Amino acid sequence: MIKANNPTIKSWIKVSPDSDFPIQNIPFGVFKKQNNKPCVATRIGDTAIDLNEMLRLNYFKDIDLHNSVFDQENLNSFLKLNKKIWRAVRDRISEVFDEKFQMIESHKTLLLADITEVEMMMPVQVGDYTDFYSSRQHAYNVGCMFRDPNNALLPNWLHIPVGYHGRASSIVLSGTDIHRPKGQQLLTDTTTPIFGPCKLMDFELEMAFVTGQGKKLGESITTAEAEDFIFGMCIFNDWSARDIQKWEYVPLGPFLGKNFGSSISPWIVSLDALSPFRVAGETQEPKPLSYLEFEGNKNIDIKLEVKLSSKNFAPHTISRSNYKYMYWNMNQQLAHHTVNGCNINAGDMMASGTISGNTPEAYGSMLELSWKGTKPILMPDGTVRKFIHDNDTVIMKAHCENDQYRIGFGEVKTKILPAKL
């Protein structure tokens, strides 16, 4: 067992039983205190912990860390290290905040802050971003809507983890409003496109993994090696302008229908923290090619929820799904991404693709939940939604749990503003 995952450990920091952040979590992020510059941090309960101060006070003295690794505006320097060091740091944090440890009172003042007193920042500087399309149910649903049930999955889908290269610069932190995008659309029964604000604004419920430093250009990462290069995960909302996307995606795939914004949660939960929640994925038929074969349980049981709110009603649950429904797992995604020799860098982000289960309440987008607008969803104030309206707020939450503790990701919360004139 990884030391920090010991379910019997309790912290001297107060943690509520339903917290996403018990001492067994120890996520990594970046915060800024009042009048201070950003630094790398972790969180236990509702207490944010300054890792730069911990390093300065010699709590990591026997771990091979350079003096400025946590004195950074993002996690990228830490991500350039390796899994052994990532694990050692997390284990040491667990030891220091174990209830058996007696911390000097003056150190508490330097290290700790209430989560409401800090400003969360983007956790990583995303150099490259890839979005996969790895939920079989989602791919099948979309295929049924736009083709037919007998031809729902394209011929390549069961053989490769399909993906595309997205726009890293427009990935933003939870709490950042996004304006409705504008672009070309082709209306039904017309042959000439129009230009204007997107009419079919949608979210996509996804998770994303963040990488450490990969191999050199020309070298590949195997499924067996993949977890040495995956640091952790966050919640990912892949905003989608369905009408813009539909007109533009042939022949080269998504462009303006996607690159106007994606939203992430602020804390990166380590792969180590998620290891107790591994489960088997569905049987892959036909059998994948040899470079995509893997051993062990590689899916993760992460419970997902999407809520929608507006000025006239409080957050209302519209979807409950689970990351364990993914057909292609992270190990396969990273192996496929690099099999041609593509190099990855510390801070690269790989999103899962929309996560949908096999029942309507587990669908991960408005496109599916309203079945392309043919089944409007009733809201608490009596209005209906086919897609996202201006001034709607979408909230995504994610957590794992067993009979011993809960590991959560917090939330990603984003309001859609009207298109700019």
Query: Whole-angstrom distance between the N-terminal and C-terminal Cα of the chain?
Result: 56
Integer Cα distance of 85 and 64 in angstroms: 7
Phi, psi angle pair for 131, to nearest 5°: -110, 120
In this structure, the strands spanning 278-279 and 230-238 are: unpaired
Quick count: other Cβ atoms within 10 Å of Cβ 100?
A: 8
Distance CA 59, CA 53 (A): 9
Q: Which residue has the tokens 């007193």?
A: 117
CA pair distance 280, 322, nearest whole angstrom: 13
Phi, psi of 360 (to 5 degrees): -55, -35
Is 138 a residue of the active site?
Answer: yes
**C-alpha–C-alpha distance, residues 326 and 356, integer Å:** 8
Q: Which of 138, 336, 337, 399 is catalytic?
A: 138
Q: Which two structure tokens, joined as six digits, stand for 348?
A: 């690269």
Please, is 289 exposed, middle or buried when counting C-beta atoms within 10 Å of its C-beta (0-12, 13-18, 19+)? exposed
Contacts for 46 with CB less than 8 Å, ≥ 6 apart: 16, 19, 21, 114, 115, 116
The amino acid occupying position 95 is: E
CA distances in angstroms from 89 to 57, 82, 264, 343, listed in the order given? 14, 11, 24, 26
Is the peptide bond between 197 and the residue preceding it cis, with omega within 30 degrees of 0? no
Give one word for 91, left, alpha or beta, with left for phi > 0 and alpha for psi -120 to 50.
Answer: alpha
The answer to whether the CB of 398 falls within 8 A of the CB of 313 is no
Question: How far apart are alpha carbons 197 and 189 in whole angstroms?
Answer: 19
Enumerate the active-site residues: 138
